[in-house]
Amino acid sequence: MNTIFLLVAGNSKLELKSLETKAAVTMNVEGLEKLIFTHIHFTMNIGLQNDDERERAKAKKVYDIAQEICPLRQSWGEDVPISFKLNFT
């Protein structure tokens, strides 16, 4: 998720001071060979060089784009439920 965000942020000329992403993964285990992800939650903590309304709006737009293209699927192709939270630090 950080990589996607950084790629979009670079193209958007968003100047970051810090970026931290935490992922909480919930899964079920079916035997030794099958893990089923039941939910993934990303919490992104973003620090901006210039923390003003314009830069926060730009960061929110970058965050929305990164959410749309975050491709997480089970190994057999089924979508994994994902949620996101954005915090400014």
φ/ψ region of 31 (left if φ > 0, alpha if ψ in -120 to 50, else beta) reads left
Give the model confidence (pLDDT) of 10-64 as tens digits: 888 899 999 999 999 999 988 777 888 889 999 999 999 999 999 999 999 999 9
Flag whether the pTM goes above 0.85: no
Domain segments of the chain as ranges: 2-30+43-88
**Alpha-carbon radius of gyration of the chain:** 15
Q: Is residue 9 over pLDDT 80?
A: yes
The per-residue pLDDT for 56 is: 96
Whole-angstrom distance, CA of residue 85 vs CA of residue 26:
16
Partners of residue 55 on adjacent β-strands: none
